[in-house]
Amino acid sequence: MDIFSFVQLFGGLAFFLYGMTLLSDSLKKTAGGRLEKLLRKATDNPFKGLTIGAVITIAIQSSSAMTVMLVGFVNSGIMDLGQTIGVIFGSDIGTTLTAWILSLSGIDSKDNVFLRLLEPKCFSLIFALIGILMIMASKKQKKKEIGTMLLGFAILMQGMTMMSGSMAPLREMDSFTRILTAFNNPMLGVLAGTIVTGVIQSSAASIGILQSISLTGKLTWGMAIPIIMGANIGTCMTAILSSIGVSKDAKRVTVIHVAIKVIGTILWLIIFYSVVAVVNFSFMDKQIGVVGIAVFHSIFNIVNTILLFPFSKQLEKLAKFIVKESDEEKEMILDERLMLTPTIAVGESANFVTKMFTKVSNGLDKATDMLMNGFNSEDYEAIMENEEKIDSYEDHIGSYLMKLTTNHHLNEIDKMSSSKMLQVIGEFERLGDHASYMAKSAEELKSKNISFSDSAKEELSRILPAVREVYTMAIKCYETGKADTAMDIGPLRIVISEMCEAFKASHVERLAEGVCTVEQGFVFNDILYSCGRIADHSMNIAAVVYRFNTADTSNYAYMHDFKQRTGSSSEDSYKKYFDKYMTKTADAAK
């Protein structure tokens, strides 16, 4: 075996790993939001989690990526620790499909045309041709992703072919046979499999290399079995590295993953080799082929699951014993590991935006209640605490989405969702600010023992319900994404703006008449200012929803267009809100 064989071996490995990455990434993008929906179904039913874990791993062709995703899910609060166990077991079974696909490299076509078409060196080139044509000719992103998937698969299989070809000279080398014989020692074989897989961080790649070696005809069952066991342990390295700097529960996901592999391997070594010592299986010294490696890889993971799956609760307790509880658990955050699957990262960002506007709504409700019904110290503290959290949400979500959109390729739907969130989180943060401003106004009224005149109270009793309605409509509009809801916000915002101007003028008259004091005036104007700004920010949120419900999302004049549509052309809505809030009713006049 000369230097060119080594170049071909490592070049083939590079092709294999790149092809697998390309295939995995395109599969995740093609799957879209279905991956997230599937994972959310992995609730307290471990059997459902097992099935979902197998399905998703088959879809993304990487158990390591699946485990890293689980670490991110737990760290972000999407899943509980117990929910991940079934998914991990399912992932171990799903990853065995790769070895079966790679076993196609062992097909001996001879003169059979059909079998020759099944050879990787033939069909992978056809896949590559179809894939590159789809990438170059298609205008739709989804078809481009399918083309990338086919191209990635072709590169993967071509890498496998190159690795197999590089091994051909080894058939004639006696020294290579002596090296392989050393792996008849189970402990040495497990160690070798663990180290190689840990370095390249892909059990599929190490199994692929092993299948390439088997084509030399020098590899026996006795040599391959412990290496396959070790490869299953080595694949945990990716999860171990991903667990650095995460929450306690996220670390426990990695502990469970490692425990399943290590305990399973120990059981196999004890039980299997004890039986071999007594029965002396003759097949252990026989040649193993690519299909034989795929068979044992599947059997190992399936039997592991059968043996250990009933002890899921005990595995969870073991993880909690190894990673001790602490008084201060890390706050749930958007985990960058979720960016491995951009659609899931976008979906979880949307969940955090929901948490953000829920806090905004609660804060505004409490603030308007205090202005109408009197100061409440508990509500005041809650609003101030909420405001800090809302600020942190804006910073965290904004930086996360910028990193996601800059460093990862998103499909069109995810791009639109990310852009929509980036535009509204600032508006939600401003609404949170005005909740705190109004709470401070209520606190000032209490601390300085200030009381508004009956006229000022009557005006606040009309504008504050209007303000509550406008921000509630805006939040509902964003939550549902319905443009027709957005169209009602413009007229109400105009009414609130007119109310603010009218009530400021009324207050000046009261000052002139000596009914109100300057000190009262400062607080009253601060409240009116916040009311107007809340209506403006609510309008901005509605405008974003309106924009993303129109065909031309690149038109940056959408705000002017939206104001025109929701202003003068919505006379019925305007009159409805004017009559409801601006006109003095009989009750208000009393």
Q: Could you read off the pLDDT of 369-384 as tens digits, one per residue? A: 999 888 888 999 999 9
Q: Which has more pLDDT, 168 or 517?
A: 517
Predicted confidence at residue 588, as pLDDT, reads 36
Picking from 547, 544, 569, the residue whose alpha carbon sits closest to that of residue 491 is 569
pLDDT at 558: 46
- Is the model more confident about 283 or about 5? 283
What's the pLDDT at 465?
92
pLDDT, mean over the chain = 79
Residue 586 — pLDDT band, cuts 50, 70, 90?
very low
State both tokens at 579.
């009559």
Residue 585 pLDDT level (bands cut at 50, 70, 90): very low
Q: Which two tokens stand for residue 129?
A: 């041709």
pLDDT for position 147? 86
Highest mean pLDDT among 54-58, 103-107, 283-287 belongs to 283-287
- Whether residue 246 is predicted with pLDDT greater than 70 in this model: the reply is no
Q: Span 8-37, mean pLDDT?
A: 70
6: how many CB neighbours lie within 10 A of its CB? 11
Average pLDDT of the segment spanning 471-492: 82
pLDDT at 365: 93
pLDDT tens track for 302-342: 999 999 999 988 998 898 888 876 544 445 577 777 787 78
More confident residue, 140 or 39: 140
CA–CA separation, 302 vs 304, rounded Å? 5
Specify the pTM.
Answer: 0.61
pLDDT at 554 over 50: no
Each residue of 151-163: pLDDT tens digit?
887 887 777 677 7
Contact 404, 421 (CB under 8 A): no
Q: How far is CA 554 from CA 313, 425, 544, 548, in A?
A: 52, 20, 12, 10
